[in-house]
Structure 1
Amino acid sequence: MESVPQEITSLVGREVYSNNGVFVGEVEDIRLDLDQEVVTGLALGTVNHDLFDSRIEDSKGVIIPYRWVRAVGDIVLVNDIVERLRDPETEEAPA
């Protein structure tokens, strides 16, 4: 069964979740390598501040590598590596 190609712009506006179900952000733009004609990253806005606040301070969003994308459908699923970006010093110790 062949998949039907879709416009890359159809990713804009989709919500991004880790494969563990944690909200990561919403796609605002796409990063392209025009020489090789490939997508290299997703620019996310409306990010999950629990994941990124210690890293983005005054930024309005983040760019995640497209190689982290596991699946694209109604939402975009990415590897759980984004969850590992949390600052371990700010995480609560288990009770």
Structure 2
Amino acid sequence: METTSEEITALVGREVYSNNGVFVGEVEDVRLDLDNQQVTGLALHELNPELFSGYVGDSRGVLIPYRWVRSVGDVVLINDIIERLRPREEEGADEVVV
């Protein structure tokens, strides 16, 4: 996916929703792979407390993999986050980083 620096900075402040229409949070920052010149993750804050209760503790946000992004427009749509969350003892490569 080709993106320009203007498109990357435009992600900051956008609301993020699951593909089921559930508010997830707001983009605070983006994680970049400078060697490959691509976005690899979105740092979210202003999280939906119903989704993240018991998962984030004192953290201010979460980092989600950019591969979860389905589309970007006025809002960012991601794969259903609820299906991805699991207890810490079951941590895996696709889990949300807090």
**TM-score scaled by length of structure 2:** 0.78
- Provide the C-alpha distance between the structure 2 equivalents of 1:24 and 1:65, rounded to a whole number of angstroms: 14
How many equivalent pairs are there?
83
Aligned residue identity for 2:82: E
- Provide the C-alpha distance between the structure 2 equivalents of 1:86 and 1:15, rounded to a whole number of angstroms: 23
**TM-score scaled by length of structure 1:** 0.81
Percent of aligned positions that are identical: 67
**Residue 10 of structure 1 corresponds to which residue in structure 2?**
10
- Provide the C-alpha distance between the structure 1 equivalents of 2:82 and 2:46, rounded to a whole number of angstroms: 16
Runs of 4+ displaced beyond 3 Å: none
Structure 1 residues without counterparts, runs of 5 or longer: 88-95
Structure 2 residues without counterparts, runs of 5 or longer: 88-98
**Residue 29 of structure 2 corresponds to which residue in structure 1?**
29
Which protein shows a greater Rg?
A: 1
- Provide the C-alpha distance between the structure 2 equivalents of 1:17 and 1:7, rounded to a whole number of angstroms: 19
**Residue 66 of structure 2 corresponds to which residue in structure 1?**
66
